Structure 1
Amino acid sequence: MPTTVVWLRNSLRLHDHPALTHAAERGGVVPVFVWAPDEEAPWAPGGAHRWWLHESLDALGRSLQEEGSRLVLRQGTSLDELKAVCEASGADRVVWQTRLAPALRRRDEAVREGLEAAGVEVRTFAGRVLHDPEQIRTGSGGPYRVFTPFWKKVRAQLDPGDPLPAPDLGGAAPATWPESADLDALGLTPEAQDGVDWAGGMRETWTPGEGGAAERLDTFVSQQLLHYDEERDFPAARGTSMLSPHLHWGEVSPRQVWAAANGWVSNGVTREAADAFLFEIGWREFSYHVLHHFPHMPDAPLKEKYERMPWAHDDDALRAWQRGRTGYPLVDAAMRQLWHVGWMHNRMRMVTASFLTKDLLVRWQDGERWFWDTLCGGDLANNAMGWQWAAGSGADAQPFFRIFNPLSQSTRYDPEGDYIRRWVPELSALPTKHLHAPWTAPPEVLEEAGVTLGETYPHPIVDHKEARERALEALKQVNV
């Protein structure tokens, strides 16, 4: 019976896994995960990523055991470990799901060449995105840089098909199982800092693994999808899917999400509601499309003129933003949510990114790096696309001169202050009238609420009106 090694990366699931299904249909299956963070430089997994990965690998290992298989963990260089696993198990083929990040594409090609040189066959399978970035082209044959025509083209051609069931692995064990490292030995779990478990908020919020992904998807499409378009912009509401970490780690496939959303159209959800959500899946597709064709996107502006932007390089301002100590309650609430649970509401990502790049005039790359380190499902394509969108330098970006007003965003999208009170508890006793801008509250109101500006809560780090003028003045150097 031929044996196939399935190299698992961001594809930590059993269902709708073409590479795993192919291996099971062929014969013996050896699921392998290789921990090799240096190969992902300069975008190696950060602390929140590592916490999620540990939990997801643990869940996948248990699922494989229940199916009569097991997860082989290795640590080292990918090529060396895969070759060793093939030799130990007698495997003559290695399969994996393709990835689109630039460093990983280069690594994968080198692994393919090394395996084939050693006499091991390699096959790769799609599944990271719904479309083939090489097949979706503009009329002139180039890649898309504007979302609307891209998505129109994709929707016209897209036929994802039905998700695959989990393969039967009961009779697919290899003749010999290779040695496996202990999960704890990979050192993915965080250490407590000053006696505080900094991953506690993530642990309370998430259930990493395929089971948690399936539960979250089912809850969203059955209970929240109908009202998605009305509630998605309000961070205090449970209006978004919160599927991004599960999608990033491949615990659910975009095809499964696509099928689930469309499946509820005939079960009480309107076509308009489903399309509003699938529009966001479209942005994920677009992000990967742009990253594939412009691999420098995570590091340099797609619009080259933004290389001339005179950024402030203000470390104190960056640190205040990171810690949720800007003096603008909505911004601070969002940044504290990010640190506590490893995730931030999408509307808040736009607000905080605008504040950093325009009110504080700090480089978008600094914000991108912070999000990468603190999001438990930080995705290179989505993260880079979002930050370049906010900074005005990316594909189909928001113009730089459109600057979010943090106060009007606060009163519009958190009108009762529920989100602010949840994440900025030192302001919770303030009347809603003054909660969004505590510096406008009379002294007696602040005193009654137990707020001392500059002590219990900071003064605004900048005046928004003045900061806006500074940003527009800086833009003139871009447009010379």
Structure 2
Amino acid sequence: MTLTLVWFRQDLRLADNPALVAAARAGTVLPVYVHDPEAAGAWPPGGASRWWLHHSLASLAAALAERGLALTIRHGPALAALRTLARETGATAVRWNRRYEPALVEQDRRVKQALADDGLDIHSHKAALLHEPWTLRTGQGRAYQAFTPFWRALCRDGEPDRPLPEPAMHAPPSAPTGESLASLQLLPRVRWDEGLRAAWTPGEAGAHERLGAFLRNRLGHYADARDYPATAGTSALSPHLHFGEVSPRQVWHAVRERCAAGTGTEPLADSTGKYLSELGWREFAHHVLFHFPELPDNPLNRRFSAFPWREDPDGRLREAWQAGRTGFPLVDAGMRELWATGWMHNRVRMVAGSLLVKNLRLPWQLGERWFWDTLVDADLANNSLGWQWVAGSGADAAPYFRIFNPVRQGERFDPAGDYVTRWIPELAGLPARYRHAPWTAPADVLAEAGLTLGRDYPRPIVDLKTSRQQALEAFQRVKQGA
């Protein structure tokens, strides 16, 4: 009977796990996690991701223990750790599920070749995406750089495979010694994670609990509610998907089945289509990153390499944006939500990104790095594509002239200011009409609200009209190649 090492990474689940299923069919299973952050190159997990990883690994270890298996934890490098484990246990096969970040693709290539040279049976599997990034091509055989034709091609390719059930697993007679989860030192030494603990339940069970709640309570309203940050209108499954606690195939088919079981009304069907297209956007992000590995660091549109960014020598503008002290309530509420919970509503992400890149005119890479460290769903493909979309420099980018006005966005998508006052309680005394532009409130209204601008809440750090015009002029020069 074959003993197979199953190398867990960002597939921290037991159901719909192709590597685990294949190993269980072949014989006994030894689940392994190798902590090897250096393998990610310039993009090791940020602080919020490390917090999530700790708790997700704890959940996986507990689920395996209930089934009589132990999760063996070792420190990297991955190749050395896997070789040592194979030697210690007599394992003759190693299986894992593929990842698609550039540095990890290269690591997988090296590990696969070296272990095969050692005489081990090596297989990798598709588990993180609906379609492999190399399977969809334009009519000219090129990678897609626009979402709409990519989405059409994905839909033409047919329904994704059905999810695999959790396999029956058999443990080897004895498991090798491993490191403790605490030895990975993933949790912060200064405990800033209270808000994360209150907001999230990492792990496979938490993922399915959140998915079930979304299907029952929010899917039918998703098309209309998803843009309003004060309401729980989205699935908030992104961190669970990133860590592989639920697979995109599981989500896709669960949404399809919920729609089929519904009344057939137009709102549910419309919401289903819109939600599935968001899974498609995730696929698109990985497609672009796989084919354009420079995406996280350099503008895909090379003309933007010469963009005239503003100087911020003392970091005042950057720090105000990071701390949620820009004076624009919708942006500041989002940045404070991010710091407290490790997550931010997608529309607010776009508005906050636009303010940084286009009004403050600071490089998009600054925002990308901040989100990487503070988001629990920090995903290299999605984060990079999103920031280049906002900057206008990437695949399927927003036009250079699209500059979100944070006041108008707030008035449209948070009309009562409920989201703003949830995260900026110092503005709660203002009437709703002033909550997105408190500097426009008359002196007597500010006094009645007990609010002194510049003391209790900052004045805007930039003039929206002037900075918008300056950004348009800068983008026009880039467009013309000046």
SS in 1 for 2:294: coil
Q: Which residue of 2 aligns with 1:182?
A: 180
Are 2:219 and 1:221 equivalent residues in the alignment? Answer: no
Are 2:279 and 1:281 equivalent residues in the alignment? Answer: yes
Q: Which residue of 2 aligns with 1:307?
A: 305
SS in 2 for 1:139: coil
The one-letter code of the counterpart of 1:103 is: A
Q: How does 1:401-416 map to 2 (within 5 A)?
A: 401-416=401-416
Q: Which residue of 2 aligns with 1:117?
A: 117
Are 2:141 and 1:141 equivalent residues in the alignment? Answer: yes
SS in 1 for 2:108: helix
Note if contact 1:46-1:373 (Cα within 8 Å) is conserved in structure 2. yes
Provide structure 1 residue ranges, at least 5 long, that are not aligned to the other structure: none
- Looking at structure 1, the residues matched to 339 and 68 of structure 2 have their Cα atoms a distance apart, in angstroms, of 38
SS in 2 for 1:123: strand
Question: CA offset at residue 159 of structure 1?
Answer: 2.8
SS in 1 for 2:122: strand
Q: Which residue of 2 aligns with 1:442?
A: 442
SS in 2 for 1:160: coil
Q: How does 1:409-424 map to 2 (within 5 A)?
A: 409-424=409-424
Are 2:259 and 1:265 equivalent residues in the alignment? Answer: yes
Question: CA offset at residue 348 of structure 1?
Answer: 0.6
Question: CA offset at residue 401 of structure 1?
Answer: 0.9
- Looking at structure 1, the residues matched to 89 and 402 of structure 2 have their Cα atoms a distance apart, in angstroms, of 58
RMSD: 1.0
- Looking at structure 2, the residues matched to 78 and 213 of structure 1 have their Cα atoms a distance apart, in angstroms, of 27
Q: Which residue of 2 aligns with 1:332?
A: 332
Are 2:379 and 1:379 equivalent residues in the alignment? Answer: yes
TM-score by length of 2: 0.97
Cα deviation, 1:285-336, whole Å, max 9, x if unaligned, reads 1101111110111111111111111111422111110000000000000000
Q: Which moved more, 1:386-395 or 1:263-272?
A: 263-272
Provide structure 2 residue ranges, at least 5 long, that are not aligned to the other structure: none
- Looking at structure 2, the residues matched to 393 and 313 of structure 1 have their Cα atoms a distance apart, in angstroms, of 20
Cα deviation, 1:172-199, whole Å, max 9, x if unaligned, reads 112331111111111011112xxxx311
Q: How does 1:333-348 map to 2 (within 5 A)?
A: 333-348=333-348
Paired residues, number: 474
SS in 2 for 1:295: coil
Q: How does 1:85-124 map to 2 (within 5 A)?
A: 85-124=85-124
Question: CA offset at residue 158 of structure 1?
Answer: 2.9
Q: Which residue of 2 aligns with 1:352?
A: 352
Are 2:189 and 1:191 equivalent residues in the alignment? Answer: yes
- Looking at structure 1, the residues matched to 348 and 182 of structure 2 have their Cα atoms a distance apart, in angstroms, of 35
Question: CA offset at residue 476 of structure 1?
Answer: 2.7
Cα deviation, 1:254-275, whole Å, max 9, x if unaligned, reads 0000011000112226322211
Cα deviation, 1:121-142, whole Å, max 9, x if unaligned, reads 2100001110122121111111
Q: Which residue of 2 aligns with 1:363?
A: 363
- Looking at structure 2, the residues matched to 135 and 412 of structure 1 have their Cα atoms a distance apart, in angstroms, of 40
- Looking at structure 2, the residues matched to 467 and 294 of structure 1 have their Cα atoms a distance apart, in angstroms, of 31
Aligned-residue sequence identity (percent) comes to 51
TM-score by length of 1: 0.97
Are 2:196 and 1:202 equivalent residues in the alignment? Answer: yes
Q: Which residue of 1 aligns with 2:318?
A: 318
SS in 1 for 2:205: helix
Q: Which residue of 2 aligns with 1:130?
A: 130
Cα deviation, 1:84-105, whole Å, max 9, x if unaligned, reads 1111121111111111000110
Q: Which residue of 2 aligns with 1:19?
A: 19
Question: CA offset at residue 477 of structure 1?
Answer: 2.5
The one-letter code of the counterpart of 1:257 is: V
Question: CA offset at residue 200 of structure 1?
Answer: 0.5
Cα deviation, 1:58-96, whole Å, max 9, x if unaligned, reads 000000001111111111210111111111121111111
Question: CA offset at residue 429 of structure 1?
Answer: 1.2
Question: CA offset at residue 354 of structure 1?
Answer: 0.6
Note if contact 1:95-1:122 (Cα within 8 Å) is conserved in structure 2. yes
SS in 2 for 1:264: helix
Question: CA offset at residue 436 of structure 1?
Answer: 0.9
- Looking at structure 2, the residues matched to 121 and 19 of structure 1 have their Cα atoms a distance apart, in angstroms, of 13
Cα deviation, 1:236-286, whole Å, max 9, x if unaligned, reads 001000000000000000000001100011222632221110010110011
SS in 2 for 1:188: coil
